[in-house]
Structure 1
Amino acid sequence: MLFESSRMALRKMTEEDAELYHIWRNDLEVMQSTSPFLDIYHFEATKEFVNQVILGSHTSKSYMVLERKTETPIGVTSLINIDYKNRNAECIIDIGNKNYWGKGYGAEALKLLLDYAFLEMNLHRVSLRVFSFNQRAIKLYEKVGFQHEGRSRQSLFREGTWHDVIHMGILQNEYVKR
């Protein structure tokens, strides 16, 4: 079934998810490897971000990642900057619940999102950006089939060091062969 695997399910993100998303958004350890902006946000700012950027945009689709048996929310995954004419989108995945890190949930959630992007939305290409120091994520993306397409050199300053942002992409025909 679409949006479900043996261990997880995706459900559309709602305004009620803002409170939990706020906790993850303010956890610097969670955001360290995914957000270019490390900051502490007031709840009203997070609520506005969820309503306008996540829920209010016609060019994005965001889903809560749930552990299936307990329906515990463990993260967020999204397609953003959806270009319907050229059948392209960018994907994002954040496992905010650290108890689920390193257990394959990110890979499963990404595969569910790509199934939806390629098999239901009929997108041609999905891209992503990843920080060069996030080797676990890079390996995951390569395993799923993403190809390296370029890098923005020294565009992220984190903990006193400059890091590259790596651009990766996967085409529909590359994904469906897997």
Structure 2
Amino acid sequence: MLFESSRVRLRKMTKEDTELYNKWRNDLEVMHSTNPSLDVYPMEATKKFVDHVILGSPTAKSYIMVEKGKEIPIGIVSLINIDYKNRNAECIIDIGEKEYWGKGYGSEGLKLLLDYVFYEMNLHRVCLKVFSFNDRAIRLYTKIGFQKEGNSRQSLFRNGEWHDIIHMGILQNEYLRNK
């Protein structure tokens, strides 16, 4: 598996990334579009989360996205709820360094993850959830080939309004056909 594109390299997340992850996880601007709870997490809570959920789960894999030119960690892509029997998983992406937003790094990182998922892991389906107000992410996922599969209507309260959570998915043959 080649874990790099022209500008992005993926590397496995390690315990050494906990402090950086805690910074991203506590940046409300970063989490506004991806985290339903918008809580502030003390370092100890993040350490436990990284140890048990990110690194300690047999049904999750997380990779730090590194900008190759400067070797700067810029975000994280993860697979969660990996179901090997039914060949399904859910993916999550967060660009933690805001100066890299809107410049195609998320697209490159997500495509690297999907290449791994469909070529190496041979999964059949990947799904994700996106907040209905996150137009930039919805455009990215649609461009890559994800299709809307449903809504959780008005399940997120943000900025004084109710928003849907949109469920999207992509199948292995759809992704490989569009490559």
> What corresponds to 1:135 in structure 2?
135
Give, in whole Å, the separation in 1 of the partners of 2:86 and 2:41: 35
Give, in whole Å, the separation in 2 of the partners of 1:59 and 1:71: 28
> What corresponds to 1:49 in structure 2?
49
Per the alignment, in what secondary structure is the counterpart of residue 85 of structure 1?
coil
Cα deviation for residue 117 of structure 1 reads 0.2
Q: What one-letter code is carried by the residue in structure 1 that aligns with 2:135?
A: Q
Per the alignment, in what secondary structure is the counterpart of residue 75 of structure 1?
strand
> What corresponds to 2:73 in structure 1?
73
Give, in whole Å, the separation in 2 of the partners of 1:73 and 1:37: 24
Cα deviation for residue 67 of structure 1 reads 0.3
Give, in whole Å, the separation in 1 of the partners of 2:50 and 2:119: 27
Per the alignment, in what secondary structure is the counterpart of residue 129 of structure 1?
strand
Is 1:32 the equivalent of 2:32? Answer: yes
For structure 1, list consecutive stretches of 5 or more residues without a partner in the other structure: none
Give, in whole Å, the separation in 1 of the partners of 2:86 and 2:40: 36
Count of paired positions: 178
Q: What one-letter code is carried by the residue in structure 2 that aligns with 1:14?
A: T
Cα deviation for residue 127 of structure 1 reads 0.2
Per the alignment, in what secondary structure is the counterpart of residue 137 of structure 2?
helix
Cα deviation for residue 99 of structure 1 reads 1.0
TM-score by structure 2 length? Answer: 0.98
Cα deviation for residue 70 of structure 1 reads 1.7
Is 1:156 the equivalent of 2:162? Answer: no
Give, in whole Å, the separation in 1 of the partners of 2:83 and 2:25: 26
TM-score by structure 1 length? Answer: 0.99
For structure 2, list consecutive stretches of 5 or more residues without a partner in the other structure: none
Cα deviation for residue 17 of structure 1 reads 0.2
Give, in whole Å, the separation in 2 of the partners of 1:149 and 1:30: 25
1:81-92 → structure 2 map (5 Å cutoff): 81-92=81-92
Per the alignment, in what secondary structure is the counterpart of residue 119 of structure 1?
helix
> What corresponds to 2:5 in structure 1?
5
Q: What one-letter code is carried by the residue in structure 1 that aligns with 2:43?
A: F
Give, in whole Å, the separation in 2 of the partners of 1:8 and 1:68: 5
Q: What one-letter code is carried by the residue in structure 1 that aligns with 2:5?
A: S
Give, in whole Å, the separation in 1 of the partners of 2:131 and 2:69: 32
Give, in whole Å, the separation in 2 of the partners of 1:39 and 1:121: 33
Is 1:177 the equivalent of 2:177? Answer: yes
Is 1:19 the equivalent of 2:35? Answer: no
> What corresponds to 1:109 in structure 2?
109
* C-alpha distance after superposition, 1:124-167 (max 9, x if no partner): 00000000000100000000000000000000001110000000
Per the alignment, in what secondary structure is the counterpart of residue 168 of structure 1?
strand
Please list every run of at least 4 consecutive aligned residues from structure 1 whose deviation after the TM superposition is greater than 4 angstroms.
Answer: none
Q: Percent identity?
A: 74
* C-alpha distance after superposition, 1:21-51 (max 9, x if no partner): 0000110000000000101111000111111
Give, in whole Å, the separation in 2 of the partners of 1:14 and 1:144: 28
Cα deviation for residue 121 of structure 1 reads 0.1
> What corresponds to 2:120 in structure 1?
120
